[in-house]
């Protein structure tokens, strides 16, 4: 993998200090804290989380439970009683902001923005005081209600304002490696906040920033939502699993207990077999565009008792400007990136080879969704996936099945290594975090959407792009 010179310089205190003393206009990104250890019951253990906002009703109580049960040490910006019960039950007494020393930093900021007025003053007051206290590589989550649930025009305006605020804040915090994201929680879905909070407030979401995440009640809730080894006893199918993001995803799923069926082309048999041996998984040599691919993968799924997770990672680019693109190149990109995904998913569902409360994750792309020169075929196919999942999500929700897409931004892989150096360097800097992501960043996001704790998230697109400045 090609090295990132600026990130290397930034990681060396001597180099960083010299560049700053000389006043050179070189943007030095903050090396990100990442976590790909096994899921823990209390991932926020010992972390100070500064909490503000309305903190009322069921949303406030659910938020308090989620933070305390995850091990956080709550610091309250204003008095509230919603933490009293959880704090007593879990032995996590709260502190007030006044008790925090002037130089003490916090690990995360959480703000309940569900009751803002038109002036948005409470939003300003909290973050004006709190943002300077956030440590490098910290995390911010703002929680609001969807615009459709607004009681009047003022509430609708305040709700939509959060999107612009969080995206802007993410770009301000990104130079210090910190993230900021928006969670829009539907009324009645408060009990589903814990999974998204654990993902966005920890290093598993290190490359996810400036993004809105909707938590709803569409999919039926499983009876058990474990946060340790959440995929124990589950079977996962991953396409394009021989290398890169696919292999990283297979490793993440296996780490959390899943038996992984690794699907890739027969030409990649050695690579996929090597990953399968490492994980104790099952290599499945199958070209997903073959006429019998859907039937073959249904048979594979049924041979293992059905699947609980399906990750459609396989994809290709066939780049040419439209005037120079042959019909063959057009058809190849659309067939692999879109047609095969729909055929295989529809076949698995029709054959009841997908269990109740299963998770389906599709790999879209920021460059596909935003559009890119020479990628009309790629953009069409990746945007088509979003239309498909939005259609399918409500149809399978009664069975507890969720379907979402991940849209990676610039991720350091063998494909980006092949880019001309000037284009690669520019692409790395065009995000709030000022650097490229790693395959494991995408894998952790896919893993989150594959767990029972993501039940509130369906029919959406989660961008793993570091807060891309284009198309974010």
Quote the mean pLDDT of the chain.
93
Distance CA 457, CA 462 (A): 10
**According to the model, what pLDDT value does residue 56 have?**
93
- Indicate whether 22 pLDDT > 60: no
Per-residue pLDDT band at 426 (split at 50, 70, 90): confident
Are 449 and 406 in contact, with CB atoms under 8 Å apart? yes
- Indicate whether 427 pLDDT > 50: yes
Are 399 and 357 in contact, with CB atoms under 8 Å apart? yes
As a whole number, mean pLDDT of residues 130-135 equals: 97
Three-state SS letters, 322-355: HHHCCHHHHHHHHHHHHHHHHHHHHHHHHCCCEE
All structural domains of the chain, each given as residue ranges with its CATH number in brackets, are: 48-201 (3.40.50.720), 235-464 (3.40.50.720)
- Indicate whether 11 pLDDT > 80: no
In the set 39, 378, 388, 391, the catalytic residue is 378
345 HSE (CA, 13 A, CB side): 28
Is-catalytic flag, 39?
no
pLDDT one-digit tens code per residue, 196-223? 999 999 999 999 999 999 999 999 999 9
pLDDT one-digit tens code per residue, 138-184? 999 999 999 999 999 999 999 999 999 999 999 999 999 999 999 99
- Indicate whether 18 pLDDT > 70: no
Per-residue pLDDT band at 24 (split at 50, 70, 90): very low
As a whole number, mean pLDDT of residues 353-380 equals: 94
As a whole number, mean pLDDT of residues 350-369 equals: 95
The DSSP secondary-structure symbol of 308 reads E
- Indicate the pTM of the whole model: 0.94
As a whole number, mean pLDDT of residues 322-333 equals: 96
| Alpha-carbon torsion (58, 61, 65, 66), positive or negative | positive
As a whole number, mean pLDDT of residues 322-336 equals: 95
Which of 83-87, 264-268, 403-407, 468-472 comes out lowest in average pLDDT? 468-472
Which of 89-98, 230-239, 393-402, 438-447 comes out lowest in average pLDDT? 89-98
Are 459 and 390 in contact, with CB atoms under 8 Å apart? yes
Helix segments in 70-223, DSSP class H: 84-90, 121-130, 153-173, 194-200
Per-residue pLDDT band at 20 (split at 50, 70, 90): low
- Indicate whether 457 pLDDT > 60: yes
| Alpha-carbon torsion (82, 84, 85, 90), positive or negative | positive
Are 315 and 241 in contact, with CB atoms under 8 Å apart? no
As a whole number, mean pLDDT of residues 26-36 equals: 85
């Amino acid at each position: 993998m090609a090295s990132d010179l600026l990130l290397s310089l930034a990681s060396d205190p001597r180099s960083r200090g010299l560049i700053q003393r000389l006043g050179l206009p070189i943007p030095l990104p903050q090396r990100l804290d990442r976590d790909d250890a096994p899921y823990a019951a209390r991932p926020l253990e010992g972390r100070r989380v500064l909490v503000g906002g309305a903190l009322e009703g069921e949303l406030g109580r659910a938020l308090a439970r989620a933070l305390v049960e995850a091990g956080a040490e709550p610091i309250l910006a204003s008095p509230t009683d919603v933490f009293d019960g959880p704090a007593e039950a879990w032995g996590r007494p709260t502190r007030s902001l006044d008790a925090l020393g002037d130089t003490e930093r916090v690990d995360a900021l959480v703000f309940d923005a569900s009751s803002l007025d038109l002036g948005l003053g409470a939003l300003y007051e909290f973050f004006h005081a709190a943002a300077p206290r956030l440590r490098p590589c910290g995390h911010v989550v703002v929680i609001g209600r969807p615009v459709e649930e607004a009681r009047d025009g003022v509430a609708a305006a305040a709700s939509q304002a959060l999107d612009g605020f969080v995206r802007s804040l993410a770009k301000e915090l990104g130079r210090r490696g910190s993230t900021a994201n928006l969670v829009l929680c539907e009324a009645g879905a408060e009990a589903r906040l814990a999974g998204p909070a654990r993902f966005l407030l920890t290093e598993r979401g290190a490359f996810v920033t400036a993004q809105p995440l909707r938590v709803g009640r569409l999919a039926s809730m499983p009876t058990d939502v474990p946060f340790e080894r959440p995929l124990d006893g589950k079977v996962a199918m991953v396409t394009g699993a021989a290398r890169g993001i696919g292999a990283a995803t297979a490793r993440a799923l296996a780490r959390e207990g899943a038996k992984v069926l690794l699907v890739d082309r027969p030409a990649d048999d050695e690579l996929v077999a090597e990953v399968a041996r490492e994980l104790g998984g099952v290599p499945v040599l199958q070209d997903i565009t073959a006429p019998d691919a859907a039937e073959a993968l249904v048979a594979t799924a049924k041979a293992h008792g059905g699947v609980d997770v399906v990750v459609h990672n396989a994809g290709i680019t066939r780049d040419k400007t439209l005037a120079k693109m042959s019909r063959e190149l057009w058809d190849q990109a659309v067939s692999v990136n879109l047609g095969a995904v729909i055929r295989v998913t529809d076949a698995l569902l029709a054959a009841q080879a997908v269990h109740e409360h299963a998770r389906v994750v599709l790999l879209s792309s920021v460059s596909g969704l935003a559009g890119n020169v020479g990628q009309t075929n790629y953009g069409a196919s990746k945007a088509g996936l979003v239309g498909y999942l939005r259609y399918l999500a409500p149809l399978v929700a009664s069975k507890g099945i969720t379907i979402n897409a991940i849209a990676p931004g610039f991720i350091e892989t063998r494909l980006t290594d092949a880019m001309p150096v000037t284009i690669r360097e520019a692409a790395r800097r065009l995000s709030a975090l000022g650097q490229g992501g790693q395959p494991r960043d995408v894998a952790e996001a896919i893993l989150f959407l594959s767990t029972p704790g993501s039940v509130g998230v369906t029919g959406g697109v989660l961008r793993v792009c570091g807060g891309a400045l284009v198309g974010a």
